[in-house]
Structure 1
């Protein structure tokens, strides 16, 4: 069985792909500009996820209001690792924090939050190992948008196709259309405070 806390992602030597679900009002201008622009909110936290199936569970395959469009956002590995180096877990973990007070102080000051949630199967069932979610706060969003994002692609047609195959009982064929994800080699000093 995979390790409980590890990052699985579609990546290459320079970049990593994360997924987000948005309304067309946000997705269309972002796709046109190649970066997020208004009405995308620069004033609140945005969550990025390298697990395609976790986002499919969260957005109900693009059927949830405000998450109808699935975007694949390619960001630099340098930016991804910088974000994780600044991250604090969203809950107290004895293995990662000296005390609850220590965690609380770090959490209050954090510009990046990390949450681990059960990874999902193609049909949405929870697995015994976890998928990472990374919350980029308003203090770092401009850096994400202006420096880390390399490109944005619309995966909505692919999501519709995979979901349609799944509903028609063609799970094996649906699996063949999933983005390739493998274990991301995060440097140990960064991963240690994130339970990795």
Structure 2
């Protein structure tokens, strides 16, 4: 099946979905140990969650970048994730989604969640011709994420290092077998899919965000 230009791909169950973040060890290790973010984790700033494991690997350099040495798999309730989607505004103005740029700017200021589409990555972290979602959470969304949605937190840094070692050694087949099993996440609401700029296979790529950075945290 042809990949949609923009679609949510994730590991999920009937009740939860896994998203990824990377932190310095002083934050990431206590979070994984306690299953909750520690007091040092700042709730007053935007935090980005990524359903795509390989996009997280691209962002954190397989857990080697400074301040991103501990890679976390955060399992959250699907109800919470879908609340974040419903309350999201695209991080860039899109013709056909927003009536005009001024309306988009007002929506962006009010929204507790920011949706951004970035090129998905392959095992060598090269860009693929389709995009995956990341969500920036702020204000109410951050509090809900930490206090209500989070079911479990796992340290997957060893997995990241193991896959990276296989890729570096040229054993892509073995590396691929270790990847989390991600699949298209259902967006049954057509209006929500439109507001997020999501696409289904075969849809024309006519809603590319304008001026969206691809390096959100």
Query: Aligned partners of 1:102 and 1:171: how far apart in 2?
Result: 46
Map of 1:109 onto structure 2: 110
CA shift at 1:32, angstroms?
2.3
**Within the alignment, does 1:168 sit opposite 2:164 as a pair?**
no
Q: How many residues align?
A: 196
CA drift of 1:87 comes to 0.2
Structure 1 residue 140 displacement after superposition: 2.1
TM-score (norm 1): 0.97
Question: Does residue 192 of structure 2 align to residue 190 of structure 1?
Answer: yes
* 1:36-185 equivalent positions in 2, closer than 5 A: 36-185=37-186
RMSD of the TM alignment (CA)?
Answer: 0.9
Whole-angstrom CA distance in 1 between matches of 2:74 and 2:192? 22
Per the TM alignment, residue 43 of structure 1 is displaced from its structure 2 partner at its CA by 1.0
SS for the counterpart of 2:115 is: strand
1:138 is displaced (CA, Å) by 2.9
Aligned-partner Cα distance in 2 for 1:144–1:151:
11
The answer to whether the 8 Å contact 2:115/2:135 transfers is yes
Cα distance in 2 for partners of 1:119, 1:28 equals 27
Which residues of structure 1 form unaligned runs of 5+?
Answer: none
Tell whether the 8 Å contact from 2:12 to 2:18 is kept in structure 1 after alignment.
Answer: yes
Q: In 1, Cα distance between the equivalents of 2:109 and 2:45?
A: 15
Indicate the larger mover: 162-171 or 135-144: 135-144
| Aligned 8 A contact 1:81 1:186 in 2 | no
Inter-partner Cα distance in structure 2 for 1:121 and 1:31: 27
The question of whether the paired residues in 2 share the 8 Å contact of 1:119 and 1:127 is answered with: yes
Partners of 1:93 and 1:44 lie apart in 2 by: 25
Q: CA deviation at 1:90?
A: 0.6
TM (norm. structure 2) is: 0.88
Unpaired runs of 5+ residues, structure 2, are 199-217
Q: List structure 1 runs of 4+ shifted beyond 4 angstroms.
A: none
